[in-house]
Structure 1
Amino acid sequence: MESPSLLRLLSSLTLRPSTAQLFYGESLHLSCEEDSAGWTVKRNTTIETMSECGRNWGKLTASFCRISFTLPSHSGVYWCESREGATSNTVNITITGGDVILQSPVLPVMEGAAVTLNCTTRSPSNLPADFYKDGSLIRTESARQMTIHNVSKSDEGLYHCTISGYGQSATSRLAVAAPPTTKALPTAKAPPTARAPSTSMSAPTDSAPLLSPVRLLCHLVVFCPYCISTLLLVSLWRQRSAGPEPPVSMATVQGLDDEYDDVIADVTTEHDF
Protein backbone atom coordinates (compact mmCIF):
# COMPACT_ATOMS: atom_id res chain seq x y z
CA MET A 1 0.00 0.00 0.00
CA GLU A 2 1.31 3.44 -0.94
CA SER A 3 2.05 5.85 1.88
CA PRO A 4 -0.21 8.93 2.35
CA SER A 5 2.74 11.24 1.68
CA LEU A 6 3.23 9.62 -1.74
CA LEU A 7 -0.48 9.65 -2.54
CA ARG A 8 -0.57 13.37 -1.79
CA LEU A 9 1.74 13.92 -4.74
CA LEU A 10 -0.38 11.82 -7.12
CA SER A 11 -3.49 14.03 -7.23
CA SER A 12 -4.32 17.74 -7.25
CA LEU A 13 -7.60 19.64 -7.17
CA THR A 14 -8.34 21.77 -10.24
CA LEU A 15 -11.24 24.15 -10.86
CA ARG A 16 -13.12 25.35 -13.92
CA PRO A 17 -13.35 28.32 -14.04
CA SER A 18 -9.99 28.59 -12.29
CA THR A 19 -10.71 31.53 -10.00
CA ALA A 20 -11.03 31.93 -6.25
CA GLN A 21 -14.27 33.98 -6.45
CA LEU A 22 -17.53 33.32 -8.27
CA PHE A 23 -20.92 34.99 -8.56
CA TYR A 24 -23.81 32.99 -7.12
CA GLY A 25 -25.79 31.08 -9.73
CA GLU A 26 -22.69 30.06 -11.77
CA SER A 27 -21.62 26.48 -12.37
CA LEU A 28 -18.40 25.06 -10.90
CA HIS A 29 -16.47 21.96 -11.95
CA LEU A 30 -13.95 20.36 -9.57
CA SER A 31 -11.75 17.39 -10.44
CA CYS A 32 -8.92 15.35 -8.96
CA GLU A 33 -6.31 15.29 -11.68
CA GLU A 34 -3.43 12.95 -12.53
CA ASP A 35 -3.76 9.59 -10.71
CA SER A 36 -7.40 10.10 -9.76
CA ALA A 37 -8.47 6.49 -9.10
CA GLY A 38 -10.12 6.25 -5.69
CA TRP A 39 -10.18 10.01 -5.10
CA THR A 40 -13.19 12.17 -4.28
CA VAL A 41 -13.84 15.87 -3.62
CA LYS A 42 -14.55 17.06 -0.08
CA ARG A 43 -15.15 20.43 1.53
CA ASN A 44 -15.48 22.40 4.77
CA THR A 45 -18.00 25.26 4.87
CA THR A 46 -19.63 27.33 7.59
CA ILE A 47 -22.50 24.83 7.81
CA GLU A 48 -20.73 21.48 7.33
CA THR A 49 -17.34 19.80 7.63
CA MET A 50 -15.72 16.87 5.81
CA SER A 51 -18.68 16.78 3.46
CA GLU A 52 -18.24 14.60 0.39
CA CYS A 53 -19.40 15.52 -3.10
CA GLY A 54 -22.50 13.57 -4.13
CA ARG A 55 -23.88 13.20 -0.62
CA ASN A 56 -25.60 16.51 0.19
CA TRP A 57 -24.17 18.69 -2.56
CA GLY A 58 -22.88 18.44 -6.11
CA LYS A 59 -22.97 15.57 -8.55
CA LEU A 60 -20.10 13.08 -8.47
CA THR A 61 -18.93 11.21 -11.57
CA ALA A 62 -15.80 9.14 -10.92
CA SER A 63 -13.39 11.75 -9.48
CA PHE A 64 -15.22 14.67 -11.11
CA CYS A 65 -17.59 16.87 -9.08
CA ARG A 66 -20.02 19.41 -10.56
CA ILE A 67 -22.00 22.16 -8.84
CA SER A 68 -24.55 23.39 -11.35
CA PHE A 69 -25.81 26.38 -9.33
CA THR A 70 -23.46 27.95 -6.80
CA LEU A 71 -24.75 29.60 -3.59
CA PRO A 72 -23.01 31.76 -0.97
CA SER A 73 -23.32 28.78 1.39
CA HIS A 74 -20.95 26.87 -0.91
CA SER A 75 -18.08 29.15 0.11
CA GLY A 76 -15.34 27.22 1.90
CA VAL A 77 -12.26 25.01 1.57
CA TYR A 78 -12.21 22.20 -1.03
CA TRP A 79 -9.74 19.35 -1.54
CA CYS A 80 -9.28 15.83 -2.96
CA GLU A 81 -9.09 12.83 -0.65
CA SER A 82 -8.33 9.15 -1.26
CA ARG A 83 -9.88 6.09 0.34
CA GLU A 84 -6.72 5.73 2.44
CA GLY A 85 -7.13 9.28 3.80
CA ALA A 86 -4.40 11.04 1.78
CA THR A 87 -5.23 14.61 0.76
CA SER A 88 -4.29 16.92 -2.10
CA ASN A 89 -3.84 20.69 -2.14
CA THR A 90 -6.63 22.81 -0.66
CA VAL A 91 -8.49 25.61 -2.46
CA ASN A 92 -10.44 28.48 -0.90
CA ILE A 93 -13.58 29.34 -2.89
CA THR A 94 -15.83 32.34 -2.26
CA ILE A 95 -19.34 32.56 -3.74
CA THR A 96 -20.62 36.13 -3.49
CA GLY A 97 -24.07 37.60 -3.76
CA GLY A 98 -22.63 41.03 -4.51
CA ASP A 99 -21.94 42.74 -7.84
CA VAL A 100 -18.10 42.71 -7.79
CA ILE A 101 -15.61 39.82 -7.66
CA LEU A 102 -11.81 39.67 -7.85
CA GLN A 103 -10.68 36.96 -10.24
CA SER A 104 -7.37 35.67 -8.87
CA PRO A 105 -5.45 32.37 -9.05
CA VAL A 106 -6.65 29.55 -6.81
CA LEU A 107 -3.18 27.94 -6.70
CA PRO A 108 0.12 29.49 -5.60
CA VAL A 109 2.01 31.51 -8.21
CA MET A 110 5.67 30.64 -8.86
CA GLU A 111 8.28 33.24 -7.99
CA GLY A 112 9.43 35.13 -11.07
CA ALA A 113 6.17 34.55 -12.96
CA ALA A 114 3.52 37.15 -13.83
CA VAL A 115 -0.01 37.17 -12.45
CA THR A 116 -3.06 39.18 -13.51
CA LEU A 117 -5.93 40.16 -11.20
CA ASN A 118 -9.28 41.09 -12.77
CA CYS A 119 -11.96 43.18 -11.07
CA THR A 120 -15.25 42.02 -12.62
CA THR A 121 -18.83 43.21 -12.24
CA ARG A 122 -21.96 41.13 -12.71
CA SER A 123 -23.25 43.56 -15.30
CA PRO A 124 -21.01 45.27 -17.90
CA SER A 125 -19.11 48.35 -16.69
CA ASN A 126 -16.48 50.72 -18.10
CA LEU A 127 -15.57 52.30 -14.77
CA PRO A 128 -12.02 52.01 -13.38
CA ALA A 129 -11.19 49.69 -10.50
CA ASP A 130 -9.12 50.29 -7.36
CA PHE A 131 -6.88 47.42 -6.24
CA TYR A 132 -5.91 46.87 -2.60
CA LYS A 133 -3.38 44.67 -0.84
CA ASP A 134 -3.74 44.01 2.90
CA GLY A 135 -6.17 46.93 3.09
CA SER A 136 -3.89 49.50 1.39
CA LEU A 137 -4.55 50.97 -2.05
CA ILE A 138 -2.02 49.82 -4.65
CA ARG A 139 -3.24 51.63 -7.77
CA THR A 140 -6.23 52.38 -9.96
CA GLU A 141 -6.61 50.67 -13.32
CA SER A 142 -8.99 51.97 -16.00
CA ALA A 143 -9.14 48.53 -17.62
CA ARG A 144 -10.07 46.94 -14.24
CA GLN A 145 -7.07 44.66 -14.62
CA MET A 146 -3.78 44.67 -12.66
CA THR A 147 -0.70 42.64 -13.63
CA ILE A 148 2.15 41.91 -11.22
CA HIS A 149 5.36 41.12 -13.09
CA ASN A 150 8.17 39.04 -11.63
CA VAL A 151 6.20 37.92 -8.59
CA SER A 152 8.11 37.58 -5.30
CA LYS A 153 7.32 36.56 -1.75
CA SER A 154 6.66 40.20 -0.88
CA ASP A 155 3.61 40.09 -3.19
CA GLU A 156 1.85 37.55 -0.97
CA GLY A 157 -1.17 38.92 0.85
CA LEU A 158 -4.92 39.56 0.87
CA TYR A 159 -6.25 41.36 -2.22
CA HIS A 160 -9.59 42.94 -3.07
CA CYS A 161 -10.92 45.55 -5.48
CA THR A 162 -13.65 48.19 -5.61
CA ILE A 163 -15.55 49.82 -8.46
CA SER A 164 -17.43 53.04 -7.79
CA GLY A 165 -21.18 52.52 -7.89
CA TYR A 166 -20.88 48.69 -7.76
CA GLY A 167 -19.18 48.05 -4.47
CA GLN A 168 -16.30 45.97 -3.14
CA SER A 169 -15.22 42.41 -3.86
CA ALA A 170 -14.51 39.78 -1.26
CA THR A 171 -10.90 39.27 -0.14
CA SER A 172 -8.75 36.52 -1.64
CA ARG A 173 -5.26 35.45 -0.66
CA LEU A 174 -2.49 35.43 -3.27
CA ALA A 175 0.09 32.77 -2.43
CA VAL A 176 3.61 32.66 -3.90
CA ALA A 177 5.63 29.44 -4.13
CA ALA A 178 9.35 29.04 -4.64
CA PRO A 179 10.35 27.45 -7.97
CA PRO A 180 11.29 23.77 -7.80
CA THR A 181 14.97 23.12 -7.40
CA THR A 182 16.77 20.87 -9.85
CA LYS A 183 19.84 18.87 -9.04
CA ALA A 184 22.79 19.86 -11.15
CA LEU A 185 24.02 17.13 -13.46
CA PRO A 186 27.65 16.11 -13.05
CA THR A 187 29.84 17.68 -15.65
CA ALA A 188 31.58 15.31 -18.03
CA LYS A 189 35.31 15.14 -17.66
CA ALA A 190 37.41 15.83 -20.72
CA PRO A 191 39.24 12.72 -21.98
CA PRO A 192 42.92 12.71 -21.11
CA THR A 193 45.15 13.91 -23.90
CA ALA A 194 47.68 11.47 -25.30
CA ARG A 195 51.27 12.19 -24.42
CA ALA A 196 54.06 11.80 -26.92
CA PRO A 197 56.38 8.92 -26.05
CA SER A 198 59.48 10.08 -24.27
CA THR A 199 62.91 9.36 -25.72
CA SER A 200 66.10 8.77 -23.86
CA MET A 201 67.97 11.29 -26.00
CA SER A 202 66.85 14.87 -26.18
CA ALA A 203 67.08 16.84 -29.41
CA PRO A 204 69.98 19.26 -29.63
CA THR A 205 69.14 22.86 -28.97
CA ASP A 206 70.68 26.08 -30.19
CA SER A 207 71.79 26.85 -26.67
CA ALA A 208 74.11 23.81 -26.47
CA PRO A 209 77.60 25.09 -25.60
CA LEU A 210 80.27 24.81 -28.29
CA LEU A 211 83.83 23.64 -27.70
CA SER A 212 85.99 26.49 -26.47
CA PRO A 213 89.17 27.36 -28.43
CA VAL A 214 91.36 26.28 -25.49
CA ARG A 215 89.77 22.82 -25.36
CA LEU A 216 90.08 22.51 -29.15
CA LEU A 217 93.80 23.39 -28.97
CA CYS A 218 94.35 20.80 -26.24
CA HIS A 219 92.74 18.14 -28.37
CA LEU A 220 95.00 19.03 -31.29
CA VAL A 221 98.14 18.97 -29.11
CA VAL A 222 97.25 15.56 -27.73
CA PHE A 223 96.31 13.90 -31.01
CA CYS A 224 98.87 15.46 -33.34
CA PRO A 225 101.85 13.44 -31.98
CA TYR A 226 99.92 10.25 -32.67
CA CYS A 227 99.40 11.35 -36.23
CA ILE A 228 103.08 12.30 -36.63
CA SER A 229 104.21 8.97 -35.20
CA THR A 230 101.92 7.15 -37.56
CA LEU A 231 103.24 9.07 -40.55
CA LEU A 232 106.86 8.33 -39.53
CA LEU A 233 106.14 4.62 -39.21
CA VAL A 234 104.43 4.57 -42.60
CA SER A 235 107.38 6.45 -44.14
CA LEU A 236 109.93 4.03 -42.61
CA TRP A 237 107.89 1.08 -43.86
CA ARG A 238 107.87 2.47 -47.41
CA GLN A 239 111.61 3.11 -47.31
CA ARG A 240 112.25 -0.43 -46.03
CA SER A 241 110.13 -1.75 -48.87
CA ALA A 242 112.08 0.32 -51.43
CA GLY A 243 115.50 -0.96 -50.34
CA PRO A 244 117.80 -1.46 -47.45
CA GLU A 245 118.14 1.62 -45.36
CA PRO A 246 120.26 2.23 -42.36
CA PRO A 247 118.41 0.97 -39.33
CA VAL A 248 116.76 3.42 -37.01
CA SER A 249 118.61 3.52 -33.76
CA MET A 250 116.93 3.06 -30.45
CA ALA A 251 118.18 6.49 -29.49
CA THR A 252 116.12 8.07 -32.25
CA VAL A 253 112.91 6.29 -31.15
CA GLN A 254 113.66 7.11 -27.52
CA GLY A 255 114.11 10.75 -28.52
CA LEU A 256 110.70 10.85 -30.17
CA ASP A 257 109.06 9.35 -27.09
CA ASP A 258 110.79 11.86 -24.84
CA GLU A 259 109.62 14.77 -26.99
CA TYR A 260 106.02 13.42 -26.93
CA ASP A 261 106.10 13.06 -23.11
CA ASP A 262 107.38 16.65 -22.77
CA VAL A 263 104.54 17.98 -24.94
CA ILE A 264 101.92 16.10 -22.94
CA ALA A 265 103.38 17.33 -19.63
CA ASP A 266 103.32 20.96 -20.85
CA VAL A 267 99.70 20.75 -22.00
CA THR A 268 98.60 19.11 -18.77
CA THR A 269 100.34 21.79 -16.69
CA GLU A 270 98.84 24.73 -18.61
CA HIS A 271 95.25 23.31 -18.85
CA ASP A 272 94.00 21.14 -16.05
CA PHE A 273 91.25 18.88 -17.47
Structure 2
Amino acid sequence: MEFTPLLLMLSVLMIPSEAAHTAVSLIVSPSRSQFFKYESVSLSCEDQGSSAGGRVRRNTTKRWLEACPADWGVGTAGSPCSIQDTFPHDTGVYWCESVSGEHSHAVDITVHDGAVILDSPVLPVNQGQAVTLRCLHKDKEATKPFSNFPAAFYKDGSLVRTEAAGEMTIPAVSTSDAGLYRCSNSELEGSPESWLAVRAPPPSLTSPPAPLLSLPRLLCSILVSLPYLVVTALLLERCCRSKGVCSAAKCDEEELY
Protein backbone atom coordinates (compact mmCIF):
# COMPACT_ATOMS: atom_id res chain seq x y z
CA MET A 1 0.00 0.00 0.00
CA GLU A 2 1.52 3.33 -1.06
CA PHE A 3 1.90 6.09 1.51
CA THR A 4 -0.11 8.84 -0.19
CA PRO A 5 -0.07 12.60 0.64
CA LEU A 6 -3.57 12.18 2.12
CA LEU A 7 -2.33 9.56 4.56
CA LEU A 8 0.61 11.81 5.37
CA MET A 9 -1.72 14.69 6.17
CA LEU A 10 -3.93 12.54 8.37
CA SER A 11 -0.87 11.19 10.16
CA VAL A 12 0.53 14.65 10.84
CA LEU A 13 -2.82 15.75 12.26
CA MET A 14 -2.50 13.03 14.91
CA ILE A 15 0.66 14.71 16.25
CA PRO A 16 -0.01 17.50 18.79
CA SER A 17 -0.14 21.00 17.30
CA GLU A 18 2.64 22.39 19.52
CA ALA A 19 5.19 20.28 17.60
CA ALA A 20 6.47 23.17 15.49
CA HIS A 21 7.06 25.45 18.52
CA THR A 22 9.27 23.30 20.76
CA ALA A 23 13.02 23.05 21.27
CA VAL A 24 13.23 19.37 20.28
CA SER A 25 14.18 18.63 16.66
CA LEU A 26 14.70 15.58 14.43
CA ILE A 27 17.93 15.05 12.48
CA VAL A 28 17.96 12.70 9.48
CA SER A 29 21.19 11.45 7.89
CA PRO A 30 21.51 11.41 4.91
CA SER A 31 19.37 14.56 4.95
CA ARG A 32 16.80 13.69 2.29
CA SER A 33 13.20 12.53 2.22
CA GLN A 34 13.52 9.54 -0.17
CA PHE A 35 15.67 6.42 0.02
CA PHE A 36 16.32 3.37 -2.10
CA LYS A 37 15.47 -0.05 -0.77
CA TYR A 38 18.33 -1.52 1.32
CA GLU A 39 19.82 1.90 2.07
CA SER A 40 20.65 2.83 5.67
CA VAL A 41 19.36 5.92 7.47
CA SER A 42 20.11 7.39 10.88
CA LEU A 43 17.62 9.42 12.91
CA SER A 44 18.39 11.29 16.12
CA CYS A 45 16.77 13.83 18.42
CA GLU A 46 18.17 17.11 19.70
CA ASP A 47 16.55 18.84 22.66
CA GLN A 48 17.86 22.33 23.48
CA GLY A 49 16.15 22.22 26.86
CA SER A 50 17.58 18.87 27.99
CA SER A 51 20.68 16.75 27.47
CA ALA A 52 18.58 13.58 27.49
CA GLY A 53 17.62 14.02 23.82
CA GLY A 54 14.43 12.18 22.99
CA ARG A 55 12.84 9.18 21.34
CA VAL A 56 12.18 8.81 17.63
CA ARG A 57 8.63 7.75 16.77
CA ARG A 58 6.87 7.03 13.51
CA ASN A 59 3.55 6.29 11.81
CA THR A 60 3.47 3.92 8.84
CA THR A 61 0.70 2.43 6.74
CA LYS A 62 0.93 -0.75 8.80
CA ARG A 63 1.41 0.47 12.36
CA TRP A 64 0.98 3.71 14.30
CA LEU A 65 2.94 5.34 17.15
CA GLU A 66 5.90 2.98 16.90
CA ALA A 67 8.95 3.88 19.02
CA CYS A 68 12.62 3.18 18.34
CA PRO A 69 14.12 0.80 19.35
CA ALA A 70 11.16 -0.91 21.00
CA ASP A 71 9.21 -1.47 17.76
CA TRP A 72 11.74 -0.78 14.98
CA GLY A 73 15.31 0.30 14.29
CA VAL A 74 18.58 -0.27 16.10
CA GLY A 75 19.77 1.82 19.04
CA THR A 76 18.86 2.78 22.57
CA ALA A 77 16.45 5.34 23.96
CA GLY A 78 17.96 8.83 23.76
CA SER A 79 20.59 7.85 21.16
CA PRO A 80 20.53 7.84 17.34
CA CYS A 81 18.16 5.29 15.87
CA SER A 82 19.38 3.52 12.72
CA ILE A 83 17.67 1.49 10.03
CA GLN A 84 20.38 -0.64 8.48
CA ASP A 85 18.34 -1.91 5.53
CA THR A 86 15.31 0.17 4.62
CA PHE A 87 12.21 -1.42 3.10
CA PRO A 88 9.06 0.11 1.58
CA HIS A 89 7.18 -0.65 4.81
CA ASP A 90 9.49 1.88 6.54
CA THR A 91 7.76 4.63 4.53
CA GLY A 92 5.92 6.95 6.89
CA VAL A 93 5.98 10.01 9.12
CA TYR A 94 8.81 10.39 11.65
CA TRP A 95 9.23 12.77 14.59
CA CYS A 96 10.94 13.15 17.96
CA GLU A 97 9.34 13.05 21.38
CA SER A 98 11.25 14.64 24.25
CA VAL A 99 11.38 13.35 27.83
CA SER A 100 8.87 16.05 28.83
CA GLY A 101 6.44 14.94 26.10
CA GLU A 102 7.09 17.69 23.53
CA HIS A 103 7.14 16.83 19.83
CA SER A 104 9.35 17.97 16.97
CA HIS A 105 8.32 18.85 13.43
CA ALA A 106 7.11 15.71 11.62
CA VAL A 107 8.84 14.69 8.38
CA ASP A 108 7.83 12.36 5.56
CA ILE A 109 10.29 9.60 4.63
CA THR A 110 9.70 7.42 1.58
CA VAL A 111 11.51 4.16 0.77
CA HIS A 112 11.19 3.34 -2.93
CA ASP A 113 11.70 -0.13 -4.44
CA GLY A 114 12.68 1.29 -7.81
CA ALA A 115 15.51 2.79 -9.84
CA VAL A 116 14.88 6.53 -9.36
CA ILE A 117 14.29 8.72 -6.32
CA LEU A 118 14.21 12.48 -5.70
CA ASP A 119 16.83 13.97 -3.40
CA SER A 120 14.96 16.82 -1.69
CA PRO A 121 15.25 18.45 1.77
CA VAL A 122 13.60 16.36 4.45
CA LEU A 123 13.22 19.33 6.83
CA PRO A 124 11.51 22.67 6.10
CA VAL A 125 13.80 25.20 4.41
CA ASN A 126 13.89 28.92 5.20
CA GLN A 127 12.47 31.41 2.73
CA GLY A 128 15.25 32.95 0.64
CA GLN A 129 17.48 29.89 0.94
CA ALA A 130 18.94 28.20 -2.15
CA VAL A 131 17.52 24.69 -2.68
CA THR A 132 18.82 22.02 -5.08
CA LEU A 133 16.70 19.02 -6.09
CA ARG A 134 18.48 16.00 -7.56
CA CYS A 135 17.15 13.06 -9.49
CA LEU A 136 19.07 10.00 -8.25
CA HIS A 137 19.46 6.67 -10.03
CA LYS A 138 20.92 3.45 -8.70
CA ASP A 139 21.38 0.33 -10.79
CA LYS A 140 22.66 -3.09 -9.79
CA GLU A 141 26.27 -2.25 -10.65
CA ALA A 142 26.41 1.12 -8.86
CA THR A 143 27.41 1.15 -5.20
CA LYS A 144 26.05 4.69 -4.65
CA PRO A 145 23.23 6.67 -6.29
CA PHE A 146 24.25 9.13 -9.00
CA SER A 147 22.43 12.05 -10.64
CA ASN A 148 24.38 12.94 -13.81
CA PHE A 149 21.64 12.15 -16.33
CA PRO A 150 18.81 14.12 -18.01
CA ALA A 151 15.77 14.47 -15.76
CA ALA A 152 12.45 16.28 -15.84
CA PHE A 153 11.21 17.91 -12.64
CA TYR A 154 7.53 18.28 -11.76
CA LYS A 155 5.74 20.33 -9.09
CA ASP A 156 2.16 19.43 -8.14
CA GLY A 157 1.89 17.34 -11.33
CA SER A 158 3.06 20.09 -13.74
CA LEU A 159 6.41 20.14 -15.53
CA VAL A 160 8.77 22.77 -14.16
CA ARG A 161 11.77 22.19 -16.43
CA THR A 162 14.23 19.56 -17.70
CA GLU A 163 17.86 19.56 -16.61
CA ALA A 164 20.62 17.73 -18.50
CA ALA A 165 22.65 17.07 -15.33
CA GLY A 166 19.69 15.83 -13.30
CA GLU A 167 19.74 18.75 -10.85
CA MET A 168 17.35 21.68 -10.46
CA THR A 169 18.28 24.66 -8.27
CA ILE A 170 15.89 27.26 -6.87
CA PRO A 171 18.20 30.22 -6.06
CA ALA A 172 15.93 31.84 -3.45
CA VAL A 173 13.01 29.65 -2.42
CA SER A 174 9.71 31.29 -1.43
CA THR A 175 6.49 30.03 0.09
CA SER A 176 5.02 29.72 -3.42
CA ASP A 177 7.67 27.05 -4.17
CA ALA A 178 6.26 24.72 -1.52
CA GLY A 179 4.55 21.66 -2.97
CA LEU A 180 4.86 18.06 -4.13
CA TYR A 181 7.92 17.42 -6.33
CA ARG A 182 9.02 14.42 -8.34
CA CYS A 183 11.46 13.70 -11.17
CA SER A 184 11.63 11.29 -14.11
CA ASN A 185 13.79 10.16 -17.00
CA SER A 186 12.55 9.08 -20.43
CA GLU A 187 14.42 5.79 -20.16
CA LEU A 188 13.83 5.20 -16.46
CA GLU A 189 10.79 5.18 -14.23
CA GLY A 190 9.87 8.26 -12.23
CA SER A 191 10.47 8.93 -8.58
CA PRO A 192 7.79 9.13 -5.88
CA GLU A 193 6.51 12.55 -4.80
CA SER A 194 7.90 14.40 -1.80
CA TRP A 195 6.68 17.55 -0.11
CA LEU A 196 9.02 20.55 -0.09
CA ALA A 197 8.16 22.66 2.97
CA VAL A 198 9.18 26.34 3.03
CA ARG A 199 9.26 28.22 6.33
CA ALA A 200 8.37 31.93 6.15
CA PRO A 201 10.33 34.32 8.42
CA PRO A 202 8.57 35.26 11.67
CA PRO A 203 6.98 38.72 11.80
CA SER A 204 9.19 41.46 13.18
CA LEU A 205 8.56 42.16 16.86
CA THR A 206 10.02 45.68 16.70
CA SER A 207 8.25 48.52 14.93
CA PRO A 208 10.21 50.34 12.19
CA PRO A 209 11.71 53.73 13.12
CA ALA A 210 9.63 56.81 12.39
CA PRO A 211 10.61 58.42 9.06
CA LEU A 212 12.48 61.73 9.25
CA LEU A 213 10.90 64.87 7.80
CA SER A 214 12.40 66.01 4.54
CA LEU A 215 13.67 69.61 4.19
CA PRO A 216 10.71 70.82 2.04
CA ARG A 217 8.19 69.38 4.51
CA LEU A 218 10.10 70.91 7.42
CA LEU A 219 10.06 74.41 5.81
CA CYS A 220 6.38 74.02 5.00
CA SER A 221 5.60 73.16 8.61
CA ILE A 222 7.51 76.22 9.84
CA LEU A 223 5.69 78.55 7.41
CA VAL A 224 2.31 77.17 8.45
CA SER A 225 3.10 77.59 12.15
CA LEU A 226 4.69 81.07 11.82
CA PRO A 227 1.42 83.15 11.86
CA TYR A 228 0.26 81.40 15.01
CA LEU A 229 3.60 82.09 16.68
CA VAL A 230 3.46 85.81 15.73
CA VAL A 231 -0.11 86.24 17.02
CA THR A 232 0.77 84.47 20.26
CA ALA A 233 3.80 86.74 20.78
CA LEU A 234 1.73 89.89 20.19
CA LEU A 235 -0.93 88.79 22.67
CA LEU A 236 1.68 88.04 25.31
CA GLU A 237 3.31 91.44 24.81
CA ARG A 238 -0.04 93.27 25.10
CA CYS A 239 -0.90 91.35 28.22
CA CYS A 240 2.43 92.22 29.83
CA ARG A 241 2.02 95.90 29.00
CA SER A 242 -1.48 96.02 30.46
CA LYS A 243 -0.25 94.41 33.66
CA GLY A 244 2.59 96.92 33.88
CA VAL A 245 0.20 99.91 33.55
CA CYS A 246 -2.11 98.52 36.22
CA SER A 247 0.79 98.00 38.61
CA ALA A 248 2.04 101.58 38.14
CA ALA A 249 -1.43 103.06 38.79
CA LYS A 250 -1.76 101.01 41.95
CA CYS A 251 1.57 102.29 43.23
CA ASP A 252 0.54 105.99 42.67
CA GLU A 253 -2.72 105.39 44.53
CA GLU A 254 -0.86 103.98 47.54
CA GLU A 255 1.45 107.04 47.67
CA LEU A 256 -1.52 109.43 47.89
CA TYR A 257 -2.73 107.77 51.05
Aligned residue identity for 2:37:
Y
Deviations 1:66-112 (A, max 9, x none): 11111110000000112443211101000000100000001112111
**Correspondence for 1:95:** 111
**Correspondence for 1:56:** 71
Deviation at 1:176, TM superposition (A): 1.0
Deviation at 1:149, TM superposition (A): 1.7
CA 1:185–1:7: 2 relative to 1, 3 Å? same
Question: Identity across aligned pairs (percent)?
Answer: 51
User: Of 39, 46, 57, which residue of structure 1 is paired with 2:54?
Assistant: 39
CA distance in 1, matches of 2:18, 2:150: 46
**Correspondence for 1:27:** 40
Residue 37 of structure 2 contacts residue 111 of structure 2 at CA under 8 Å; is this kept in 1? yes
Deviation at 1:63, TM superposition (A): 3.1
RMSD: 2.3
Matched, 1:146 2:168: yes
Residue 41 of structure 1 contacts residue 63 of structure 1 at CA under 8 Å; is this kept in 2? no
> Residue 73 of structure 1 aligns to a residue in which SS?
helix
Residue 24 of structure 2 contacts residue 104 of structure 2 at CA under 8 Å; is this kept in 1? yes
Which runs of 5 or more structure 2 residues have no equivalent in the other structure?
A: 1-16, 140-145, 210-257
**Correspondence for 1:111:** 127
Structure ranking higher on relative contact order (CA contacts 8 Å, 6+ apart): 2
**Correspondence for 1:13:** 26
- Greater radius of gyration (CA): 1
Q: TM-score, normalised by structure 1?
A: 0.62
CA distance in 2, matches of 1:57, 1:167: 30
CA distance in 2, matches of 1:7, 1:160: 26
**Correspondence for 2:87:** 71
Aligned residue identity for 1:70:
T
